[in-house]
Each structure stands twice: as C-alpha cells, then as structure tokens.
Structure 1
C-alpha cells in the first residue's frame, strides 16, 4: 500500500496501487460526509454493522502523526483505513443523505471512466461535479426555507385556533367588532344576523371582495368545521380592517341621525 497514486480528486481523493486496484481513505470520506460521530467510533460501527472484511474490503494503515493546535508533532500516529472503491460506495450510500449519494455517484463515475478506458477529461468531471454540488446546495437551501416557513405557519395557525374561544380581554379587537355590529343592529332595529349581513356587504364593497367565499376557502384549505367572520379576521390579521368598516357603518348612521335632528 506504499505505492499509491491519486487518480481522481474532484470530490475527494481516489487512490490506485501498482496492480490497478482503487481505494479511498475512510477518514477523508468521513470528513466529506460531515458525520456527527467521531471517526474512530463511526468506522468501527460501520465495519461491524456491514461485515466489512479486513484485507478484502479494507486495510488498516498508520496515518500522519497527530499535531497540536500550533502545528507541532506530538508523537502519536493515528489509525486510518483504506477501503476498496466498492466498499467506499457502500460506506457513502448507508449514510442515507444527499452528500452520501453525491459521493457514491462520484465513485461510480470514476470507476466507469477507468473501466471503459475512455476517461472523461478532468475539466469535464470538475464541471459536472461542481454543477451537481451547486444543485444540491440550492435544493437543500430551498427545502430548509420551505420547512421553516411551513413550521412557522403551522405554529401561528395552531396558536390562533387554540385561543379563539379563550379571548376575554376588554377592548380586544374581536370583541370590539362583535360589539360594534351589535350596536349597529340596535340602531337599525334589526337582528344580529341581519346586521352581520349588512356588514358583509359593506366589507365587500370597501375591499372589492367576497367575504363569504374567502371564509369558505379558508375552511376548506385548513380542514376546519366552521369559522365565524370575527374568527376569520383574527386568523388572517384582518380585524383592524373589519373594525374600520364597522366604524364607518356606525358613523354614517350617526351622522345621518344628526342631520335629521
């Protein structure tokens, strides 16, 4: 194992001996995979779990001397492992993550290149791997962003739904809206249901929308059994707009009464 040469080094080094056998350094693979466990624990566990055989799948070797923080040798040698390329593919695959799959694909490409004896140019392989890594990073960033947004939305919705029937603070906008519609009903001499109907018409006119359709769409989207207009406004941060519409209804009525008086 002393006459190894590097035959590919796009993602991590792939070595070849004088017999044309190809290997990877398990410690270098471990670093690239960004495994949570320390190398010694990780490699021993993998050897035991997947029945890797010494001198067939891997060979222990002595690595470089360990160094202190300041770069000086401290006189200890570490134990490394050379794995065959096939065993290296398995090591990468069992991590079951995007990086492991990308590295396994890289090993396959290297193996294919040498098996066919029509190697791709290093430049082509570098471009391919760079593009693959870029796409991987973009995909991971997008997934993380979507997951974060989804969690925030779910937490916000859950908090609001859980607290719909617990609000009893004086002056709360939802209570204020109900009180304004009740006051409007008294002024107009109509029942509460009729007052809400007139509020919906006023709201639709003010915002050029269909409040009933929006509430029904929200119920369907979130799988709710029912939802009142004040609850809908509370969940969608629309209470302030609703209160303004109700206030305008009341003010217009009071102004009309003043003119008549």
Structure 2
C-alpha cells in the first residue's frame, strides 16, 4: 500500500498522522492553525483524539523556528477526511480505512505483541545484568566501605578521558578493546572479572514509573586501574606526557 500520508506509532500502540501532513494532503486553502481549530469544534478531545506537539523547521534563510503541529489518531483523521466532502477527502478516507484494516489484522496484532514481548525481555535482561554488576560491586563492602562506597570523589568516564585528551566515547571504546567492559544497549558494563574489584559504582535514577536512567562512576581505585592498564599500552595522561617531553 502506498503511504499517501506518513504515519507513526506511539508508545501506546496507536497509529498517528501529522495534522500538518493531513492538511497539506487535503489541499486545504485555509491556514493550518485556523483550519485545525475549526476541526476541533466537531467534538475532538485533546489527549484523547490528538496531542499538540512542537515541530522545529528551518527556513530558507537557515533560521530555526518552532511550529505547532498535532499528532492525530486514525479515527479522527478519517472523520476529518469525511468532513472535507471533496475528492482528496474521499481518497484520504479510503486510505485510512485500509490502514485500519491492515493495522488490526491478526498478523499485525501478533507482530505488535511479539515486538512488545521482545522489548520486555531485552529490558529484563539488561536489568538482570545491571543487578549482577551492582551485586558484584558491593561484594568488597567490608574492605572498601568507607574508602569506596562513601568516597565523594567518584569520577565520570568523561573526566578520566579528559586527563588523556580523549572523549568519553573514545575512552569507552578503548576500555572495550582492552577487555574491561562491554556495551549492553546504551550502557557500558564491566566484564565479570572486573566487577568485584571496587572499580565502579552504578546507580539507577528513577525518572518516573516507566523511565529510569543508569549512571556509572569510577572510583579512585578504578582510576588507578585504568592508569596502570593504559600505561602498559604506552598511553599516558597528558600531565605525564608534558613532564616527559
């Protein structure tokens, strides 16, 4: 099926179209904001039938400005198409009917269910790996409690990388190549042989019921470990390079 009007899926599994894309396809002569306000008078409810979004666009002069757009659910888009009472409206209505039929087919319902389950499994696997690392990090608690867990001088990888004149991205990749850590999604985790050494502290910051952010800091012990490791590879921090030059 040709995509007459681009669509996207939101996190709740609803198919959406841009109000501006629909307005353009229907070749409405009225300015978008005026036209959409008229459409809302037919009983459509914000946050149920549509949501308002900011859309950034660049002018021909290279300036960026923000425009108001709306993400519209397919039933609302279909009703708006019917209200136009012209050939373009009829064409859009038939397009949305076909979209709904395909979207609600057993195959597509099954695919969305499988995608959801796969995402949940991947999230669970990542959570288990994080939990394993956090447990292993806490193993030396009796020895390093005051020095490590309560240490106020924990460092981000970007700070350590700066000492070597590197970006955090380059330092993370280097530590991966040297067998220190591996990537799981957008998170770097230590390999098991390094997890119980007190090199890092990993925290999970809860943002809301569905979102959280993982933050990993290196201890001074971990910083020294990186120093010794890189020194063996002939990589010295900037301050030592200056002294030896």
Tell me, yes or no, whether TM beats 0.5.
no
Q: TM-score, normalised by structure 2?
A: 0.42
Choose between structure 1 and 2: higher helix proportion: 1
Choose between structure 1 and 2: higher strand proportion: 2
Q: TM-score, normalised by structure 1?
A: 0.39
